[in-house]
Amino acid sequence: MACIEAHDLRKTFGTTVALDGVDLRVEEGGIVGLIGPNGAGKTTALNAMLGLIPYQGELKVQGRDPWHERARLMRDVCFIADVAVLPRWMRVGQALDYVAGVHPRFDRARAEALLANTTIKRSSKVREISKGMVTQLHLALVMAIDAPLLVLDEPTIGLDLLYRKHFYDTLLSDYFDRKRTIFLATHQVGEVEHMLTRVLFMDRGRIVFDRGMEEVESSYAEVAVHPERLTAARALGPMHEREGFGRRILLFHGVTRLQLESLGEVRTPSITDLFIAVVGGRAGAAPPATT
């Protein structure tokens, strides 16, 4: 069974098209990154998957229809929304009691163990602790839920560097402890690219790029071209060209490394560069050389 299966998923808000026919299949296991600029439709797509908004088209998450079976689905899916949404009046102990009381898959001992690594006091109210600590608390609650799918929407927005690192370290060690699928939407590409197993680019309501990270590494290459080899390099049909360190840097798809090595230094492009090449080009922001 696929974890997430969407076919021609559409959503409009008034005249604004937020999802313009999304087709997606996510198998169990793996860390999938949904990358897109602001307003690309990432949050709308996640909200549809979490049963928070109605939609047109077909959508199954963990084999269920999110809009009609949200409460049941939430036993198998846990999510952290884009900003701190833990109720500010709640005490840490109350949050543990409540989730333990309503969630059949919540392991309280695990949540307590995760909180023991922090300075969060059981008697503190959410409003009294820092934003980073609220995220740690939320993460501890979610990590203690043994659900096959974890959905994160810009989980580290507004956090400082240390908390971000801690967040992703916790996430990653949990992922290796027990295989579950993590579906992560963000526009902070740099901090997640090393952990992804698959990357999706979203732009203007559509998935415009969908590759496994192995495929990215094997079939995309970036070359800092020697100036005298530029014409030869351009003849190979780069998908994107930019300036960097005094050299033209060309991004190729499906050209063997052997062919490229004579042109300059070859390396695997970062997700950011790939993103700019794919989405930046579509947005018309890329230099004319790409067309």
Partner 1 sequence: MPLATRSAPRPLYWSVRRELWENRSIYLAPLAVAALALIGFVIRLAWLPGRMRVAAALPPMQQHHALAEPYSFVATLLMATTSVVAVVYCLDAFQGERRDRSVLFWKSLPVSDTTTVLAKASVPFVILPLLCVAVAWATHLIMLVLSSIALLASGMSAALPWTEMSFVRMSGLLLYHMIAVHALWYAPIYGWLLLVSAAARRAAFLWALVPPLAIWLVERIAFNTSYFAAMLQSLLVGGAEAHVMNSPGNVLDPMTTHVTPGAFVSSPGLWIGLALAAAFLAMAVRLRRQQGPV
Minimum CB distance to partner 1, residue 100 (Å)? 8
Q: How far apart are CA 232 and CA 230, in angstroms?
A: 5
In the window 88-147, what residues touch partner 1 (CB under 8 A)? 88-91, 94, 97-99, 101-107, 138, 146
How many CA atoms are closer than 13 Å to the CA of 123, on its beta-carbon side?
0
Q: Which is nearer to partner 1, 22 or 95 (CB)?
A: 95
Q: Which is nearer to partner 1, 134 or 271 (CB)?
A: 134
Per DSSP, the residues of 230-272 read HHHHHHT--SEEEEETTEEEEEEES--HHHHHTTEEEEPPPHH
Q: How far apart are CA 96 and CA 1, in angstroms?
A: 32
Binding of residue 11 to partner 1 (CB under 8 A): no
Name the residue type at position 162.
L
Minimum CB distance to partner 1, residue 206 (Å)? 23
Binding of residue 189 to partner 1 (CB under 8 A): no
Residue 31 forms beta bridges with which residues?
Answer: 182
For residue 139, which phi and psi values (nearest 5 degrees)? -65, -40
Q: Which is nearer to partner 1, 80 or 249 (CB)?
A: 80
Residues 30, 35, 45, 47: which binds partner 1 (CB under 8 A)? Answer: 47
Identify the three-state secondary structure at position 173: helix
Q: Which is nearer to partner 1, 7 or 72 (CB)?
A: 72
In the window 48-87, what residues touch partner 1 (CB under 8 A)? 50-54, 70-75, 78-81, 83, 85-87
Binding of residue 42 to partner 1 (CB under 8 A): no
Minimum CB distance to partner 1, residue 99 (Å)? 7
Which runs of consecutive H residues, i.e. helices, occur in the chain?
42-49, 70-73, 92-102, 108-116, 131-143, 161-177, 213-219, 230-235, 257-261, 271-275, 281-282
Question: By rule CB under 8 A, what count of residues binds partner 1?
Answer: 37
Binding of residue 157 to partner 1 (CB under 8 A): no
Residues lying near partner 1 in the complex (CB under 8 A) are found at 47, 50-54, 70-75, 78-81, 83, 85-91, 94, 97-99, 101-107, 138, 146
